[in-house]
Structure 1
Amino acid sequence: MQLPLGTVLPSFWEKSPLQTLLFLSAILLILAQYLKNRKQHLHYPPGPPGLPIVGNFFQIDFKNPQIGIQKVRSEMGNTFYNEMHAGNLTFLIVSGMPLIKEVLINQDQVFIDRPQIPVHFHVFKTHGLLMSNGQEWRQQRRFALMTLRNFGLGKKSLEYRIQEEARYLIEAIREEKGQPFDPHFQINNAVSNIICSITFGRRFDYHDAQFRELLKSLDTVTVLEASWECQLFNIFPWIMKFLPGSHQKFFREWKKLESFVKHVIKQHKEDLNTEETLDFIDAYLKELSKDDIHPSFNEENLVFCTLDLFFAGTETTSTTLRWALLYMALYPDIQGKIQAEIDRVVGQSRQPTMADKENMPYTNAAIHEVQRMGNIIPFNAPRVARVDTTVAGYHVPKGTVLSTNLTALHRDPKEWATPETFNPEHFLENGQFKKKEAFLPFSIGKRVCLGEQLARTELFLFFTCLLQKFTFQAPPNTQLSLDFRVGITVSPASYQICTIPRVM
């Protein structure tokens, strides 16, 4: 008599669980090998061997993933697959300027969308400026750009606002009286106040305890995204959402930021003046009152677009400025050359302006070199292939996640004379500033950073204003280092610095 299959399998498991486990593991390994061979048959890019389901998860150095990626690149070439994480998502890593231009410019319509990586999807769904796709993304980006321009982007009014905030920052630093301090949150607050004035219609005092906590939440989510728990959530979201770990704190801190934005929006709705538009939230609320708007305009998108502007407008520029002060303290000769140029072009009787930039090639080159060496977004923001395509002669199927290797580009010995050394001369030719094609801190193509112009203005004005008034140096008997933290951005590890007022 033949027993039903449902009776046989439980019986088999009860009598020999170890054999059953080994049998199932063998099937998975055979399946993984089959899929690997199938990739090779379909002329997929090469990649390091990974385990079934988890891919290359256990090969990741979460404290310094760039090192591992560059090692694989040296073995595999400029185009390779990496089954790093995100469950069934496979990552295509592309290096070198020709291939980066191929995927981000020549094939921009193929790689224009963002992937639905579980840890991002859990927070943003498909809303906002960073994670939305298709017509929703186009409509929200167009509106955000128009509104930013209306509130001063590219105009003198915004330049004056940054100069004013630089004065507040200088006074906050003077309060330290030359003693060692961590400039992290003063710089965060100063930079954030620019985007806050545009989105929320106000700035926040550096002693505002509530806003300081908000900036700490921003810093926390930046760091926690790189944690192994968040990456494991990308593989097993249906399990990890019930388990404790840093991923739960990551989600809680995002909720705090979201609640703050919702509270500000609520206040704006109560105080809305139909005759005057004071900031981005006002402009969006008035857009919602129109009859013929695109369906993507709704209050949920307002929350996440505002959150995107707040986060991106705070984190990236402030991180770059913290790298800048660290490099100045580590390279006092370069700091001295910058200050000599500031003294020659600007002097001490007025603040630097954007009009001075053309006459300050060495300062401009130093800022660019900080961005190259800081390399705060080493693999760019991810994209996903909308359709099957070909890259470097390899088959790339629909759904493949694309990362562009900016670390390799910004440290390429073919592009930079001293790729591992801080050297502003990389951006100079015959004493004049020279643009470099292999310099992409803001990315390229249709998804180029929305706030590039704002960030460039902030970096120049804050940096020159600070070096006009202070000399930055290590505390006595202290050796500063270039240690860093990996998260959404690569930021300097916490450091103490001394600011010595310049006496002219």
Structure 2
Amino acid sequence: MALLILLLLGLLGLWGLLQAWARDPSPAPRWPPGPRPLPLIGNLHLLRLSQQDRSLMELSERYGPVFTVHLGRQKTVVLTGFEAVKEALAGPGQELADRPPIAIFQLIQRGGGIFFSSGARWRAARHFTVRALHSLGMGRELMADKILQELKCLSEQLDGYEGRPFPLALLGWAPSNITFMLLFGRRFDYRDPVFVSLLGLIDEVMVLLGSPGLQLFNIYPWLGALLQLHRPVLRKIEEVQAILRTLLEARRPHMRRGDPVRSYVDALIQQGQGDDPKGLFAEPNAVACILDMVMAGTETTSATLQWAALLMGRHLDVQGRVQEELDRVLGPGRPPRLEDQQELPYTSAVLHEVQRFITLLPHVPRCTTVDTKLGSFLLPKGTPVIPLLTSVLLDETQWQTPGQFNPGHFLDADGHFVKREAFLPFSAGRRVCVGERLARTELFLLFAGLLQRYRLLPPPGVSPASLDTTPARAFTMRPQAQTLCAVSRP
């Protein structure tokens, strides 16, 4: 009897193993090398939370361009250097199209929106957004005219300082208003309470999202919830959402199917009025999409324009060469046009070098949608993957002087502009930034227009070398709060 029972148990065990294999026939993962994790904290003791990208680059020197790191208990694969990132993002394509669940964005967006959603919801939101932005003239002459109108408003603000120091953050007002024009169909006066409130709240949210407390919350949500580390940023986000919901609902009664679409909000309303059985464009996800566009559209281009001005104040010789080129091609009175870019190779090179040098968004994680092969490694479905863009933009095999501000990175021996394959500030693949074209248009027209009109100088008593180019602690690598002088050119 005992022998029969043992035999039956053995057969049951074998049956269970066969069932498990049938349910999950995936081969065993082959993980990249990496540091040995400690209990509970993983490899956090090896990372500087304020400079996580630099810490990961240091680990890659020991473990290679593709390695595994444990963020707490979460096993994550890091890709460093142009070749590894290019192979992963340009190769598998759909295999790295998802985002891993990030605790704070799960609470904020509930799986909706554009930037931190995945699967069918992400594909629908992205496809809609790309189509809507194209129909609204993103990157075309119509949008260029609105950007130049906003440049005039920004210049009026700078003229009011009469060459005295102005806060660097003021330069972010113009790109922010351009984003709002696209989203809401109208520009805001710089003193408008809604405009002032939105910019103030976005600034606070970006600082909170980059704080050590929020990073701890994302790694240990249960501990963060216990300590209420997420509450300050959620309160600010709720204030932003309330403003966006008010703007959305104010427009809704005026939009019917077939009416002309004048803004992203108009397009969202009409999309929600159509066939939408899964509710992908119902009010909660509509607000989530607007929130993503507001946060990304204001912060990234605003911070880049501020960096460009700051670096011109620090590198006066570069600024002088840009202005010589602008004077030669445009003269003193004609504003820049999009088609001028080909005639302004040095100006274009400087703008590209600004974006390379500042590494504004060091890394935004991806997630494998299926079992994914990367080189000789095999990652199971659901593995978080960090394509470290900092390591691409500072790759010593791609850039002659990666740690220095050098517009020559984008010029050939004859001074012609050269496109560089390793220039990936907007990422690559299926998750490339939806607003890349608009951002490029804004930056060129605003930067060229400002340098055509002003000399950007350090405040009195401050040398160019003393301007602070250390990134502030925030969700992006934005510049530190400081002042510059905009002196009108003769």
Q: TM above 0.5, one fold?
A: yes
What does residue 388 of structure 2 align with? 405
Q: How many Å separate the matches in 2 of 1:402 and 1:44?
A: 12
What does residue 118 of structure 1 align with? 103
Deviation at 1:42, TM superposition (A): 5.6
2:199 to 211, 215, 238: 215
Deviation at 1:103, TM superposition (A): 1.2
Deviation at 1:209, TM superposition (A): 4.0
Q: How many Å separate the matches in 2 of 1:50 and 1:220?
A: 34
1:266 to 246, 249, 257: 249
Deviation at 1:211, TM superposition (A): 2.1
What does residue 83 of structure 1 align with? 70
Q: How many Å separate the matches in 1 of 2:147 and 2:329?
A: 19
Q: How many Å separate the matches in 1 of 2:278 and 2:451?
A: 46
Letter in 1 for 2:356: R
Cα shift readout 1:328-379 (whole Å, capped 9, x = no counterpart): 0110000000000000001112111101111000000000000000110112
1:388 to 371, 383, 386: 371
Report the 3-state secondary structure (helix = DSSP H, G, I; strand = E; otherwise coil) of the residue aligned with 2:74: coil
Report the 3-state secondary structure (helix = DSSP H, G, I; strand = E; otherwise coil) of the residue aligned with 2:40: coil
Letter in 2 for 1:335: Q
1:52 aligns with 2:39: yes
1:431 aligns with 2:418: no
Most deviating of 365-374 and 304-313: 304-313
Deviation at 1:407, TM superposition (A): 1.4
Letter in 2 for 1:405: L
What does residue 354 of structure 2 align with? 370
What does residue 14 of structure 2 align with? none
Q: How many Å separate the matches in 1 of 2:394 and 2:429?
A: 21
Is the contact between residue 54 and residue 235 of structure 1 (CA under 8 Å) also seen in structure 2? no
1:205–1:292 Cα change, 3 Å: closer
Is the contact between residue 352 and residue 410 of structure 2 (CA under 8 Å) also seen in structure 1? yes
Letter in 2 for 1:426: H
What does residue 438 of structure 2 align with? 454
Deviation at 1:294, TM superposition (A): 5.9
Report the 3-state secondary structure (helix = DSSP H, G, I; strand = E; otherwise coil) of the residue aligned with 1:438: coil
1:316 aligns with 2:300: yes
Q: How many Å separate the matches in 2 of 1:313 and 1:462?
A: 15
1:192 aligns with 2:148: no
2:158 to 173, 187, 212: 173
- Count of residue pairs the alignment pairs up: 458
Letter in 2 for 1:337: R
Report the 3-state secondary structure (helix = DSSP H, G, I; strand = E; otherwise coil) of the residue aligned with 2:346: helix
Is the contact between residue 62 and residue 226 of structure 1 (CA under 8 Å) also seen in structure 2? no
What does residue 100 of structure 1 align with? 85
Q: How many Å separate the matches in 2 of 1:295 and 1:256?
A: 24
Report the 3-state secondary structure (helix = DSSP H, G, I; strand = E; otherwise coil) of the residue aligned with 1:268: helix
Is the contact between residue 188 and residue 215 of structure 1 (CA under 8 Å) also seen in structure 2? no
Letter in 2 for 1:286: Q
Deviation at 1:456, TM superposition (A): 0.4
Letter in 1 for 2:32: P
Deviation at 1:440, TM superposition (A): 0.3
1:68 to 32, 51, 55: 55
Is the contact between residue 100 and residue 404 of structure 1 (CA under 8 Å) also seen in structure 2? yes
5+ residue gaps, structure 1, are 1-40
1:348 to 332, 355, 379: 332
Report the 3-state secondary structure (helix = DSSP H, G, I; strand = E; otherwise coil) of the residue aligned with 2:271: helix
Report the 3-state secondary structure (helix = DSSP H, G, I; strand = E; otherwise coil) of the residue aligned with 2:98: coil
What does residue 481 of structure 1 align with? 468
Q: How many Å separate the matches in 2 of 1:447 and 1:66?
A: 20
What does residue 140 of structure 2 align with? 155
Deviation at 1:84, TM superposition (A): 2.2
Letter in 1 for 2:249: K
Q: How many Å separate the matches in 2 of 1:354 and 1:439?
A: 20
Q: How many Å separate the matches in 2 of 1:148 and 1:42?
A: 40
Q: How many Å separate the matches in 2 of 1:200 and 1:281?
A: 6
Is the contact between residue 57 and residue 84 of structure 1 (CA under 8 Å) also seen in structure 2? yes
Is the contact between residue 139 and residue 294 of structure 1 (CA under 8 Å) also seen in structure 2? no
1:408–1:236 Cα change, 3 Å: closer
Cα shift readout 1:117-164 (whole Å, capped 9, x = no counterpart): 111111112101112222222221111111112211132110100010
Letter in 1 for 2:467: L
TM-score (norm 2): 0.90
What does residue 238 of structure 1 align with? 222
1:431–1:134 Cα change, 3 Å: same
Cα shift readout 1:234-285 (whole Å, capped 9, x = no counterpart): 233234224244x321111111111111111111123436633321112221
Is the contact between residue 47 and residue 80 of structure 1 (CA under 8 Å) also seen in structure 2? yes
Cα shift readout 1:409-457 (whole Å, capped 9, x = no counterpart): 1112221111111111110012110000011011111111100100000
Is the contact between residue 82 and residue 395 of structure 2 (CA under 8 Å) also seen in structure 1? no
Q: How many Å separate the matches in 1 of 2:75 and 2:306?
A: 34
1:353–1:294 Cα change, 3 Å: farther
What does residue 35 of structure 1 align with? none
1:389–1:146 Cα change, 3 Å: closer
TM-score (norm 1): 0.87
Letter in 2 for 1:344: R
Q: Percent identity?
A: 37
1:419 to 402, 419, 429: 402
Most deviating of 67-76 and 459-468: 67-76
Letter in 1 for 2:125: Q
5+ residue gaps, structure 2, are 1-27
Deviation at 1:187, TM superposition (A): 2.2
What does residue 123 of structure 2 align with? 138
Q: How many Å separate the matches in 2 of 1:157 and 1:341?
A: 25
Q: State the Cα RMSD in Å.
A: 1.7
Most deviating of 326-335 and 65-74: 65-74
Q: How many Å separate the matches in 1 of 2:146 and 2:176?
A: 12
Letter in 2 for 1:83: H
Most deviating of 280-289 and 368-377: 280-289
